Each structure stands twice: as structure tokens, then as C-alpha cells.
Amino acid sequence: MFQINCLNPIAQVGLKNFTDQYEITSEVKNADGILVRSASMHEMELPESLLAVARAGAGVNNIPLDKCAEHGVVVFNTPGANANGVKELVIAGMLLAARDVVSGIEWVKASREDPDIAKAAEKAKKNFAGTEIKGKKLGVIGLGAIGVKVANAAVALDMEVYGYDPYLSVNAAWSLSRAVHHVTNVEDIYAQCDYITIHVPLMDSTKGMINAEAVGKMKDGVILLNFARDLLADEEDVLEGLHSGKIARYVSDFPNATTAGQKGCIVIPHLGASTEESEDNCAVMAVEEMMDYLENGNIRNSVNYPACDMGICTKAGRVAIFHKNIANMITKFTAEFGEKGINISDMTNKSRGEVAYTMMDVEEAPTEEIIRALENIKGVFRARIVKG
């Protein structure tokens, strides 16, 4: 029986796919798998029992990826599963920033006792007027699952769209409208665009990328949208930009003490992926990934281990080994089985940066003794009996 702990509420449509081999537990202590959305795991003590973490979502900055890798804990995310939800809110964000819809709604609320509200509205509305997005230039930084959808939707709304992504995947390139202008220097986006939206993951290399220098290069009156992570922007610099008039509006999906309630900031309580559809898609994908890994050792959509698929094991046993990506490891693994006269019938070895993953199907059920021997090999983080 596998124990699964949910650190955040996960949609039932996903959880109900767990078979009777699984139990949802309220305790993290003996969990084999953790399902998580935005809860931070950085300060968490990982239980010895933990084999996998599945993030029902895209961003994994709330999970200690390297620490997990060193413990042989596979971390998954659900690429693209919530991208449409975010895309729709980004478009809404642009529209909210283009006209002063938020202040207009607040005015109506404040005037609700006025019996002549309809007449008063006709006078007041000039204060909330704005511009249309048609014909405006939108810069999309990061053309992954979300960025591509935002760019294509903006093209459909007659915006002139510029896209920047130095690591653009082939899939993304295929999905992107041909009307999107391909930009190879982000500064061209800063210099030309009326709206700039950022869709990159939060990493050391992207943290604070929207800073005073970047803002200084933007057009006067630019509208900045951040539905990726607040730390991608130095928000004190963004506030400076708002005060000086360089930035007309900052639309963010991440409330914090710096931006909440500030003039010019439209801050949404992290609702990008909070749709029934996105939550369902993420939960279904996260549960599938978790089950295939726990039952078969297969790795799909991991963010800290390589992809690996050996299907369902039809032999007596299957062993998975997490190790450093260094020379001679396979020789040492096969020697352990050879010494015990166990035949290896199938084997895969995949690497990703400094770590590697080896799976072996064997013709005798593997014992705890062999697992201990494998774990004693220098460079091995963990060995696991998947079947046996």
C-alpha cells in the first residue's frame, strides 16, 4: 500500500484515480508520495519513506529540487496543464489595465445609495476611460506553455506581438502563431512594447530580471504584467517606475507587502490557475505521473531526474537506482547481480546534468541485501525495489 500525503487541496477528479493500492494520509511522516500545489517545502524535513513529489502545477520554486535529487526523490510537475487558465487571466489583466475597470467598479459600489446613480455614472465615466488593446504592441518574455498561448490569443485580439525566449522548444515554435515577431534580444521588447508580460520560471538566473535597469529601457507608460512569480521583478524598482510615470500599471498575480494596495498596482490573489479545468488537469496529470513512478519506476515530466520509461515489468523483479552521473556505475551495478548469479533481462540508464537513473529488470526477485549492496556503491543516492 502506498501512502500519499496532500500538502494542498488536490482536485478529486485526480485523487479518485488512485487505486486501492493507495491511501491518502494526513501525515507526511510515512508518506511514499507528496502531492503539492504552492505550499513551500523548503523548510520541511523529508521523511525517509518519501519516493516522489508531484507538483500539481508548473512552478517548482517551492520545492528543494537538489535536496530531493540527492535523496533519490523524484519531483514531477504538470507542464501545460494549467496554461489556459493563466492565459485567460493574463488577457483579463491586460483589459483591466487598459481601462480603469477596477476603479470604475469601486465607484459604483461607493455610489450604490445614490438614487441617481445612472445619471451620475454618465458624468463619472470619463475618469475611468482608457484605450483599446487592438493595435498595441505586446512583448511576451518566455514562450513556454503559457507564453505561447498568451501570444496567440493576443494575435487573435489584433495586437502586434513580439516574443522572446532564448531556449524556445521545438514544440513551442510549432505552436506559436506565425504572426508573432521573433525577438532575439529582450531589450527590443523593452524598447518597443506597450504591454510586457513575463512567463519564465523563477530561477537564480531569472530572479529580479525586471529591475531598474530593465524598467529604464521600457517605453514611457508601459503596462507590465507578472503572472509568473513576484520575485522575477524587483518590485521596489517597479514602484519607482510607477511613481515616475514610466510604468502606467503593474498587474501581478502575487500579493505581497510591497505591492498590495499601491497606486497603479492591480494585484490578484494568485488566481492564474484557479479554475476548475486547470485544477482538474493538474490533479489528473500529477496523479498519473505519481502512479506510473511508484508502480513501475517510470519517470515522466520530472524536473530533477531524467525521463525514463520501461513500461510495465513482466520479469520477476525491477530495481531502480539513483546515482551520480559518473563513469563506471553500470559496471558496478551489473557486477552486484552477476556475483549473485542473477540475470539482468533489460536495463536503461538515463542522465540529467549531475544525476542519473538506472532501471534493471531481473529474473529473480531482488532482495533487501542486494539493495543495500547497491546503496553502498560510492555515488549511489538510493536504490529501490520497484517489483520483487
Ligand X SMILES: NC(=O)C1=CN([C@@H]2O[C@H](COP(=O)(O)OP(=O)(O)OC[C@H]3O[C@@H](n4cnc5c(N)ncnc54)[C@H](O)[C@@H]3O)[C@@H](O)[C@H]2O)C=CC1
Residues lying near ligand AKG in the complex (CB under 6 A) are found at 37-38, 57-59, 82, 273-274
The H or E element that residue 121 is part of is helix 117-124
Give Cα separations from 275 to 140, 240, 253 (angstroms): 23, 33, 14
| 227 binds, options ligand AKG, ligand X, none, Cβ within 5 to 8 A by partner type | ligand X
Q: Which of 34, 69, 143, 290 binds ligand X (CB under 6 A)?
A: 143
**Shortest Å, Cβ 38 to ligand AKG:** 5
Closest residue to ligand X: CB criterion? 144
* Residues in Cβ contact with 156 at an 8 Å cutoff, skipping those fewer than 6 apart: none
Q: Residue with C-alpha cell 510537475?
A: 77
Grid coordinates in use for 7? 500538502
Q: Residue with C-alpha cell 514531477?
A: 76
Q: How many residues bind ligand X (CB under 6 A)?
A: 31
Q: Which of 20, 109, 167, 170 binds ligand X (CB under 6 A)?
A: 167
Nearer to ligand AKG, 96 or 303 (CB): 303
Q: Can you tell me the distance from the alpha carbon of 330 to that of 328, in angstroms, rounded to the nearest whole number?
A: 6
* Residue 86 is a binding residue for ligand X (CB under 6 A): yes
Q: Can you tell me the distance from the alpha carbon of 86 to that of 275, in angstroms, rounded to the nearest whole number?
A: 9
Q: H-type helices in 145-275, by residue range?
A: 145-156, 170-175, 186-192, 212-216, 235-244
Nearer to ligand X, 217 or 270 (CB): 270
76-79: long-range contacts (C-beta < 8 A, 24 or more apart)? 76/52, 76/286, 76/289, 76/290, 76/293, 76/299, 76/300, 76/301, 76/302, 76/303, 77/301, 77/303, 78/54, 78/281, 78/282, 78/285, 78/286, 78/289, 78/301, 79/144, 79/145, 79/301
* Residue 144 is a binding residue for ligand X (CB under 6 A): yes
Nearer to ligand X, 269 or 341 (CB): 269
**Shortest Å, Cβ 58 to ligand AKG:** 4
Q: 27 burial class (0-12, 13-18, 19+ CB within 10 angstroms)?
A: exposed
What's CA 95's distance to the chain center, in Å? 25
| Contact letters for ligand X, residues 169-188 (x by CB under 6 A) | ---x----------------
**Shortest Å, Cβ 270 to ligand X:** 6
**Shortest Å, Cβ 210 to ligand AKG:** 18
Nearer to ligand AKG, 98 or 283 (CB): 283
Grid coordinates in use for 209? 530580471
| 228 binds, options ligand AKG, ligand X, none, Cβ within 5 to 8 A by partner type | ligand X
| 37 binds, options ligand AKG, ligand X, none, Cβ within 5 to 8 A by partner type | ligand AKG
| Contact letters for ligand X, residues 237-276 (x by CB under 6 A) | ----------------x----------------x-xx---
Give Cα separations from 185 to 10, 77, 139, 224, 353 (angstroms): 39, 29, 12, 18, 27
Cβ(277)–Cβ(84) below 8 Å: yes
**Shortest Å, Cβ 164 to ligand X:** 6
Cβ(318)–Cβ(361) below 8 Å: yes
Q: Which of 51, 58, 225, 265 binds ligand X (CB under 6 A)?
A: 58
Q: Which of residues 192-231 bind ligand X (CB under 6 A)?
A: 199-202, 206, 227-229
Only one of the segments 13-21, 82-90, 108-116, 340-348 lies at the binding site for ligand X (rule: CB under 6 A); that segment is: 82-90
The H or E element that residue 344 is part of is strand 344-352
| 323 binds, options ligand AKG, ligand X, none, Cβ within 5 to 8 A by partner type | none
Q: Can you tell me the distance from the alpha carbon of 73 to that of 86, in angstroms, rounded to the nearest whole number?
A: 29
Q: Residue with C-alpha cell 513512478?
A: 293
**Shortest Å, Cβ 227 to ligand AKG:** 8
Residue 22's DSSP bridge partners are 2
Nearer to ligand X, 11 or 373 (CB): 11
| Contact letters for ligand X, residues 102-141 (x by CB under 6 A) | ---------------------------------------x
Question: Residues interacting with ligand X, by CB under 6 A?
Answer: 57-59, 79, 82-83, 86, 141-147, 164-167, 172, 199-202, 206, 227-229, 253, 270, 272-273
